[in-house]
Amino acid sequence: MNHSTNDLAIDARMLARRFGAQWVLRGVSLELRSGVAAGLVGANGSGKSTLLRLLCTLLRPTAGTASIFGADIASEPDRVRELVGFFSPVPGVYEDLTAMENIRFAATMLGRPAGSAASALERTGLASVANERVRGFSSGMLRRLSLARLLVHRPRLLLLDEPYNNFDAPGTALLNDVIRETLAFGGSALIVVHDVASAMPVVNEWFSLTGGKMSPSAAIPVGSPSPSIIPALGMSGVLH
Protein backbone atom coordinates (compact mmCIF):
# COMPACT_ATOMS: atom_id res chain seq x y z
CA MET A 1 0.00 0.00 0.00
CA ASN A 2 1.28 3.48 -0.83
CA HIS A 3 1.07 6.21 1.79
CA SER A 4 1.85 9.90 1.59
CA THR A 5 5.09 10.92 3.34
CA ASN A 6 3.21 12.64 6.16
CA ASP A 7 1.20 9.50 6.90
CA LEU A 8 4.31 7.52 7.55
CA ALA A 9 5.95 7.76 10.93
CA ILE A 10 8.79 5.58 9.62
CA ASP A 11 9.67 5.08 5.99
CA ALA A 12 12.85 3.00 5.84
CA ARG A 13 14.28 1.69 2.59
CA MET A 14 16.99 -0.98 2.49
CA LEU A 15 18.65 0.23 5.69
CA ALA A 16 21.94 -1.51 6.33
CA ARG A 17 24.60 -1.16 8.97
CA ARG A 18 27.98 -2.77 9.28
CA PHE A 19 30.28 -2.84 12.33
CA GLY A 20 33.75 -3.60 11.01
CA ALA A 21 33.36 -6.58 8.72
CA GLN A 22 30.11 -7.73 10.29
CA TRP A 23 26.77 -6.74 8.78
CA VAL A 24 24.22 -6.33 11.57
CA LEU A 25 21.41 -5.04 9.35
CA ARG A 26 21.21 -6.25 5.76
CA GLY A 27 18.70 -4.10 3.93
CA VAL A 28 15.68 -3.51 6.15
CA SER A 29 12.62 -1.83 4.68
CA LEU A 30 9.84 -0.78 7.00
CA GLU A 31 6.73 1.39 6.76
CA LEU A 32 4.96 2.44 9.92
CA ARG A 33 1.84 4.60 9.65
CA SER A 34 1.00 7.32 12.11
CA GLY A 35 -1.36 6.20 14.86
CA VAL A 36 0.09 2.69 14.86
CA ALA A 37 2.17 0.91 17.50
CA ALA A 38 4.32 -1.84 16.07
CA GLY A 39 6.08 -4.59 17.96
CA LEU A 40 9.50 -5.67 16.71
CA VAL A 41 10.64 -9.11 17.74
CA GLY A 42 13.62 -11.25 16.94
CA ALA A 43 16.35 -13.30 18.50
CA ASN A 44 19.30 -11.71 20.32
CA GLY A 45 21.72 -10.18 17.83
CA SER A 46 19.16 -9.96 15.04
CA GLY A 47 19.66 -6.18 14.72
CA LYS A 48 16.60 -4.81 16.55
CA SER A 49 18.44 -2.33 18.75
CA THR A 50 20.70 -1.29 15.88
CA LEU A 51 17.62 -0.52 13.78
CA LEU A 52 16.23 1.73 16.55
CA ARG A 53 19.61 3.49 16.93
CA LEU A 54 19.71 4.17 13.19
CA LEU A 55 16.18 5.57 13.21
CA CYS A 56 16.92 7.90 16.14
CA THR A 57 20.20 9.16 14.55
CA LEU A 58 22.52 7.68 17.19
CA LEU A 59 24.10 5.65 14.39
CA ARG A 60 24.56 6.46 10.71
CA PRO A 61 23.42 3.86 8.19
CA THR A 62 26.09 2.20 6.04
CA ALA A 63 23.52 2.03 3.22
CA GLY A 64 19.85 2.79 2.65
CA THR A 65 17.61 5.68 3.64
CA ALA A 66 14.93 6.39 6.22
CA SER A 67 12.67 9.26 7.14
CA ILE A 68 10.67 10.02 10.25
CA PHE A 69 7.43 11.88 9.49
CA GLY A 70 9.15 13.06 6.30
CA ALA A 71 12.43 14.14 7.95
CA ASP A 72 15.45 12.30 6.55
CA ILE A 73 17.63 10.69 9.23
CA ALA A 74 20.86 11.48 7.37
CA SER A 75 20.26 15.03 6.16
CA GLU A 76 17.87 16.32 8.87
CA PRO A 77 19.06 14.68 12.11
CA ASP A 78 18.12 17.72 14.22
CA ARG A 79 14.52 17.58 13.01
CA VAL A 80 14.42 13.81 13.56
CA ARG A 81 15.64 14.21 17.15
CA GLU A 82 12.77 16.60 17.83
CA LEU A 83 10.28 14.03 16.58
CA VAL A 84 11.73 10.92 18.17
CA GLY A 85 11.93 9.77 21.77
CA PHE A 86 14.29 6.83 22.37
CA PHE A 87 13.68 4.74 25.47
CA SER A 88 16.76 2.60 26.02
CA PRO A 89 17.25 -0.29 28.45
CA VAL A 90 19.99 1.84 30.10
CA PRO A 91 18.44 4.61 32.25
CA GLY A 92 20.97 7.25 31.16
CA VAL A 93 20.65 9.45 34.23
CA TYR A 94 23.21 11.26 36.38
CA GLU A 95 23.66 9.51 39.71
CA ASP A 96 25.00 12.55 41.59
CA LEU A 97 21.98 14.68 40.66
CA THR A 98 18.53 14.42 42.21
CA ALA A 99 15.56 13.10 40.25
CA MET A 100 14.22 16.65 39.88
CA GLU A 101 17.60 17.97 38.71
CA ASN A 102 17.84 15.17 36.15
CA ILE A 103 14.42 15.90 34.67
CA ARG A 104 14.88 19.69 34.79
CA PHE A 105 18.14 19.22 32.90
CA ALA A 106 16.25 17.16 30.30
CA ALA A 107 13.54 19.84 30.11
CA THR A 108 16.13 22.56 29.43
CA MET A 109 17.88 20.46 26.79
CA LEU A 110 14.51 19.76 25.15
CA GLY A 111 13.42 23.39 25.31
CA ARG A 112 10.46 22.55 27.56
CA PRO A 113 9.32 24.64 30.56
CA ALA A 114 10.89 23.73 33.90
CA GLY A 115 7.39 23.13 35.30
CA SER A 116 6.96 20.09 33.07
CA ALA A 117 9.56 18.25 35.19
CA ALA A 118 7.40 18.31 38.32
CA SER A 119 4.32 16.98 36.54
CA ALA A 120 6.36 14.22 34.85
CA LEU A 121 7.77 13.11 38.19
CA GLU A 122 4.28 13.23 39.71
CA ARG A 123 2.91 11.05 36.93
CA THR A 124 5.70 8.47 37.23
CA GLY A 125 5.24 8.22 41.00
CA LEU A 126 8.59 9.79 41.85
CA ALA A 127 7.34 13.07 43.32
CA SER A 128 8.08 11.91 46.87
CA VAL A 129 11.74 11.24 46.02
CA ALA A 130 12.14 14.19 43.64
CA ASN A 131 14.85 15.80 45.76
CA GLU A 132 16.79 12.64 46.47
CA ARG A 133 19.95 11.72 44.62
CA VAL A 134 19.44 9.09 41.96
CA ARG A 135 22.42 7.03 43.20
CA GLY A 136 20.23 5.17 45.68
CA PHE A 137 17.33 4.43 43.32
CA SER A 138 16.27 0.87 42.48
CA SER A 139 16.37 -0.25 38.84
CA GLY A 140 12.58 0.10 38.63
CA MET A 141 12.77 3.69 39.90
CA LEU A 142 15.49 4.47 37.37
CA ARG A 143 13.22 3.18 34.60
CA ARG A 144 10.45 5.44 35.86
CA LEU A 145 12.87 8.35 35.82
CA SER A 146 13.70 7.54 32.20
CA LEU A 147 9.99 7.47 31.47
CA ALA A 148 9.60 10.87 33.13
CA ARG A 149 12.17 12.23 30.67
CA LEU A 150 10.08 10.83 27.82
CA LEU A 151 6.98 12.50 29.29
CA VAL A 152 8.74 15.86 29.30
CA HIS A 153 9.71 15.35 25.65
CA ARG A 154 6.32 14.11 24.35
CA PRO A 155 7.75 13.00 20.98
CA ARG A 156 5.62 12.01 17.97
CA LEU A 157 7.47 8.75 17.50
CA LEU A 158 8.40 6.48 20.39
CA LEU A 159 11.31 4.12 19.77
CA LEU A 160 11.22 1.78 22.74
CA ASP A 161 13.98 -0.77 23.27
CA GLU A 162 12.80 -3.51 25.62
CA PRO A 163 10.76 -0.95 27.54
CA TYR A 164 9.06 -3.31 29.98
CA ASN A 165 12.30 -4.45 31.66
CA ASN A 166 12.30 -3.79 35.42
CA PHE A 167 8.80 -2.33 35.44
CA ASP A 168 6.26 -3.61 37.93
CA ALA A 169 2.61 -4.01 36.87
CA PRO A 170 1.65 -0.36 37.54
CA GLY A 171 4.82 0.73 35.69
CA THR A 172 3.89 -1.41 32.70
CA ALA A 173 0.36 0.02 32.72
CA LEU A 174 1.77 3.56 32.89
CA LEU A 175 4.08 2.91 29.95
CA ASN A 176 1.19 1.51 27.92
CA ASP A 177 -0.86 4.60 28.79
CA VAL A 178 1.96 6.81 27.48
CA ILE A 179 2.03 4.78 24.25
CA ARG A 180 -1.76 5.08 23.86
CA GLU A 181 -1.61 8.85 24.42
CA THR A 182 1.09 9.17 21.77
CA LEU A 183 -1.05 7.22 19.30
CA ALA A 184 -4.12 9.30 20.14
CA PHE A 185 -2.24 12.45 19.12
CA GLY A 186 -1.34 10.93 15.75
CA GLY A 187 2.02 9.63 16.85
CA SER A 188 3.44 6.14 16.53
CA ALA A 189 5.57 3.67 18.41
CA LEU A 190 8.05 1.00 17.41
CA ILE A 191 8.63 -1.33 20.33
CA VAL A 192 11.46 -3.84 20.50
CA VAL A 193 10.00 -6.40 22.80
CA HIS A 194 10.80 -9.76 24.36
CA ASP A 195 7.98 -9.50 26.87
CA VAL A 196 5.25 -9.89 24.24
CA ALA A 197 2.41 -10.16 26.75
CA SER A 198 3.07 -6.71 28.23
CA ALA A 199 2.99 -5.12 24.77
CA MET A 200 -0.08 -6.95 23.51
CA PRO A 201 -2.60 -4.38 24.84
CA VAL A 202 -1.10 -1.59 22.72
CA VAL A 203 0.57 -3.16 19.68
CA ASN A 204 -1.38 -3.19 16.40
CA GLU A 205 1.24 -4.62 14.05
CA TRP A 206 4.17 -6.98 14.44
CA PHE A 207 7.45 -7.17 12.61
CA SER A 208 10.16 -9.72 12.99
CA LEU A 209 13.90 -9.38 12.36
CA THR A 210 15.99 -12.42 11.60
CA GLY A 211 19.70 -12.22 10.88
CA GLY A 212 19.53 -8.51 10.05
CA LYS A 213 16.62 -8.89 7.63
CA MET A 214 12.93 -8.17 8.08
CA SER A 215 10.76 -11.25 8.00
CA PRO A 216 7.16 -11.08 6.80
CA SER A 217 5.06 -9.43 9.50
CA ALA A 218 2.91 -11.62 11.62
CA ALA A 219 -0.64 -10.40 12.08
CA ILE A 220 -1.54 -10.70 15.75
CA PRO A 221 -4.95 -9.63 17.03
CA VAL A 222 -4.69 -6.74 19.47
CA GLY A 223 -5.13 -7.58 23.13
CA SER A 224 -5.16 -11.32 22.91
CA PRO A 225 -1.88 -12.71 24.19
CA SER A 226 -1.61 -16.36 23.46
CA PRO A 227 1.25 -18.84 23.41
CA SER A 228 0.20 -19.65 19.84
CA ILE A 229 1.72 -16.41 18.57
CA ILE A 230 5.24 -17.41 19.61
CA PRO A 231 6.02 -19.53 16.53
CA ALA A 232 4.50 -16.83 14.30
CA LEU A 233 6.99 -14.32 15.71
CA GLY A 234 9.90 -16.65 15.24
CA MET A 235 10.61 -16.69 18.97
CA SER A 236 10.74 -19.27 21.67
CA GLY A 237 9.77 -19.25 25.30
CA VAL A 238 9.65 -15.52 25.85
CA LEU A 239 5.95 -15.03 26.40
CA HIS A 240 5.41 -14.40 30.10
Partner 1 sequence: MAFRDEWLRARAVAWKDLMAERRSKAGFNSVAALGVTILVLFGFALGPDAEAIRAAAPGALWLAALFAGVLAFNRSYQVELDGGALEPLLMYPGARRSIFAGKLLANFVFVFLLLVIVIAVSLVLFHITVPSTWPRLLLVVLLGEVGLVTLGTFYAAMASRSRAREVLLPLLLFPMLVPVLLAAMQATKALLVGDVMHDAGAWTSLLVAYDVIFLISTFLAFDYVIEA
Q: What are phi and psi of 234, to 5 degrees?
A: 70, 30
Q: How far is the CB of 92 from partner 1 (least distance, A)?
A: 4
Binding status of residue 60 toward partner 1 by CB under 8 A: yes
- Among 157, 147, 160, smallest CA distance to 187 is for 157
Residues 30-59, interacting with partner 1 (CB under 8 A)? 56-59
The residues, ordered by sequence, that sit 6+ positions from 226 with a Cβ below 8 Å of its Cβ are: none
Length in residues, the chain: 240
- Shortest reach from residue 84's CB to partner 1, in Å: 8
Cα dihedral 212→161→180→208 (10° resolution): 20
20 binds partner 1 (CB under 8 A): no
Is-contact 155 186, C-beta < 8 A?
A: no
Nearer to partner 1, 43 or 83 (CB): 83
Which residues sit opposite 86 in a β-bridge? 159
Residue 134 to residue 142: CA distance in whole angstroms: 8
Q: Which stretch binds partner 1 (CB under 8 A): 73-81, 115-123, 217-225, 230-238?
A: 73-81
Q: Which is nearer to partner 1, 40 or 84 (CB)?
A: 84
Residues touching partner 1, count (CB under 8 A): 29
The least CB distance from residue 34 to partner 1, in Å, is 19
Asked if 126 touches partner 1 (CB under 8 A), the answer is no
Residues 93-122 that bind partner 1 (CB under 8 A): 93-97, 101, 105-106, 108-111
Q: Across-strand partners of 161?
A: 192
- Cβ-based nearer residue to partner 1, 31 or 82: 82
3-state SS assignment for residue 25: strand
Positions touching partner 1 (CB under 8 A) are 56-60, 78-79, 81-82, 84, 86, 88, 90-97, 101, 105-106, 108-111, 133, 149
